[in-house]
Amino acid sequence: MQRLPLVPPLLLVLALSACGPTAPPASTPPPPSRAAAPAAGLDRVMGQSAPSLIASLGTPALDVREGTARKLQFRSPACVLDTYLYPPAGGGDPKVTWIDARTPTGADFDRASCVASLARIEPPKPARTVPAAARPGRRKR
């Protein structure tokens, strides 16, 4: 009796098994969307209007307007933050759509770290004025 080679039928079985339907992997989460959420800390700035930005970061060191666009620049000892505000497509108040950060010397700086350093800086407290008659140690003559 003559033996038949096993290689051709084995290749046929392997080829046919690759044609069948495959089940999707179980519980594989979808890849995260880049635009889904801003990096930690950037949410304090992205999408904000100029008044809310000024309320959270203080008075800008630079305020440049060109057409409907606006650039507000904030400075700290650690970094310089440029915020770019553009009106939404449907109209309305300009909102922050892009930010850029650098050191005072111009080197790249992490944007979220720069926002955090600016948010920690407390605005200078106004000088407290007390009428002369109410000052301690002063007597009215």
SS3 125: coil
The residues that bridge with 70 in the sheet, in sequence order, are 65, 85
Residue-range domain boundaries for the chain: 42-120
For residue 34, the model assigns a pLDDT of 41
Contact by Cβ (8 Å): 79, 103: yes
For residue 90, the model assigns a pLDDT of 87
For residue 119, the model assigns a pLDDT of 82
Q: Which one has a higher pLDDT value, 61 or 34?
A: 61
Dihedral sign of CA atoms 110, 113, 114, 115 in order = positive
Contact by Cβ (8 Å): 99, 92: no
CA distance 42 to 37: 9
Question: What is the CATH code of the structural domain delimited by 42-120?
Answer: 3.30.1450
SS3 134: helix
DSSP letters spanning 1-60 = -PPPPSHHHHHHHHHHHTTS--PPPTTPPPPPPTTTSPPTTGGGTTT-BHHHHHHHH-S-
Segment 111-136, tens digit of pLDDT: 999 999 998 665 555 555 555 555 55
Q: Does the structure show a pLDDT above 70 at 51?
A: yes
Average pLDDT value for residue range 46-64 = 94
For residue 134, the model assigns a pLDDT of 52
DSSP letters spanning 75-94 = E-SS-EEEEEEE--TT-SS-
